[in-house]
Copies of this chain bind each other. A is one copy, B any other.
Amino acid sequence: LTVVIMAGGRGTRFWPRSRNRLPKQCIALMGERTLLQRTLDRVQGLVPPEQVLVVTGKDMSEAVREQLPELPAENILVEPCGRNTAPCIAWATVEIARRYGGEAIMAVLPADHLVDDEEDFQRALYAGAKAASETNGLITLGIRATRPETGFGYIRCGEALGEWDGRSFHHVQGFVEKPDRETANEYVASGQYYWNAGIFLWSVDAIRDAFQAYLPNTWASMARLEFEPTSFATLWDTFDAISIDYGILEHAKSVYVLPASFGWSDVGSWTAIPDIAAPSDGGWVESQDCVSIDAGGNVVHAPGKLVALVGVDDLVIVDTPDALLVTRREDAQRIREVISRLEHAGLTKYL
C-alpha cells in the first residue's frame, strides 16, 4: 500500500490566513499541527513515510518540505503549475509504478481535510486497499450525507458488490455535481447518495488502464516525461486541467464506492469551522482573550490578540500581521472576489 497526498490546492477561501506560499493545507486550523501534517499523521502505522508521496505546487513546496521532515526529499513531487487532479495523479502513478510495480495499491488523499475517527479511517483504507487489489476496480470513499450540503459532489450508490474486512462495497451508479438545495434535500432523504470526499484507492495497473482508456493524451505525455526530464515544465503546461472525477471516474466501468462515516470534513471555508470545532455560542473564536457582548455565531481567527465583539453576529473576522478580513458568514465564499481584486490591483504581496 502506498499513499499519495494531493497538496497542490491554493485554498484561497482561508485568506488572509492562507497565502500562496502557505495555502490552506499548510496552516494549523484548530490545533497545533497543520492539515497537511494531520493528513500524514492519519496514515501513520498503516504505511511507512517512505511509501507516502506528496504532490504539491512550486509556491508552497518550501512549506511542505518544512512541515514534513520525515518524508524523503524524492517523495515530494513539485508540479510546475496547478493542473487539477488528473495530471497530479498520473504523475504519482508513474512514480509509484517505477518504484513498486503495477500491483502496488495507491490510496489517494486530499491534504486539506479533517477526520474525526482516525482509527475507523485507517480501517476503511485497509479494507479499500484489499478490495482494490482483489477487484482491480477504482474505489472511491463515499461519506454518508448527514445534511443537504450544496458545496459537495455526490456519489449515487448502486447494488452491493461484496464485503471486504466486514465492510460492504457498492457499485457506483453515477457521480453528480454540486446540487441545489432542493436536490440535496432529496439526496439526503433517499439515503442512496454519499458525499464525494476525493479519497480513492486503486492499483497502479487499474488506474493506468483507466488513464489509457479515458485520458490517453495525458498518459502518453506523462510516460514521455520520464525520458525528457528537461522539458518537464513545458510539457506539464500542455496538460488539460481536469479532475480525476470528471476525466476518469465518471466514465470508467469498475468504479465502486465504500460508504464511510468517520467524521469527515473538507473544512471548505471559515464558515464551516464552528460545525467542526466544539462551538461556543454557535461561533468559533481563536484568540488570546475575548470579550463578547451581545454577539454570537462569529468565526474569529486572531491568534495572540484580545478580540472584543459588541452587538455583531455571524461575522467572519480573520486577522493576520498584514491583512484583516471582515465579512459575513454567508459571504465567506466571496473571499475569491477579494483575491481577484488584489490581483487586478497588483497588490500581490497580500496573496
- Answer whether residue A323 sits at the interface, using C-beta atoms and an 8 A cutoff: yes
* Pair B325/A311 contact, Cβ less than 8 Å: no
Q: What residues of chain A have their CB less than 8 Å away from a CB belonging to chain B? A: 16, 287, 289, 291, 293-294, 302, 304-312, 315, 317, 319, 322-328, 330-331, 334-335, 337-338, 341-342, 345, 347, 350
Residues of B within 8 A of A323 (CB): 305-308
Main secondary structure of the interface of A (DSSP, over half): strand
User: Quick one: given A16-B306, A322-B305, are A311 and B327 in contact (CB under 8 Å)?
Assistant: yes
User: Quick one: given A306-B322, A319-B324, A324-B317, are A311 and B338 in contact (CB under 8 Å)?
Assistant: no
A16, A311, A312, A342: most-surrounded residue (chain B CB, <10 A): A311
Question: Can you tell how many copies of this chain the complex includes?
Answer: 2
* Pair A342/B291 contact, Cβ less than 8 Å: yes
* Pair B327/A309 contact, Cβ less than 8 Å: yes
* Pair A311/B324 contact, Cβ less than 8 Å: no
Beyond contacts A310-B327, A319-B319: 12 other A-B pairs, Cβ-Cβ < 8 A, are A289-B350, A291-B338, A291-B341, A293-B334, A307-B326, A308-B323, A308-B324, A310-B331, A310-B335, A311-B331, A312-B327, A315-B326
Complex-state Cα separation, A326 to B305, whole angstroms? 13
Complex-state Cα separation, A340 to B16, whole angstroms? 32
Residues of B within 8 A of A306 (CB): 16, 322-324, 342, 347, 350
Least CB distance, A24 to chain B, in whole angstroms: 17
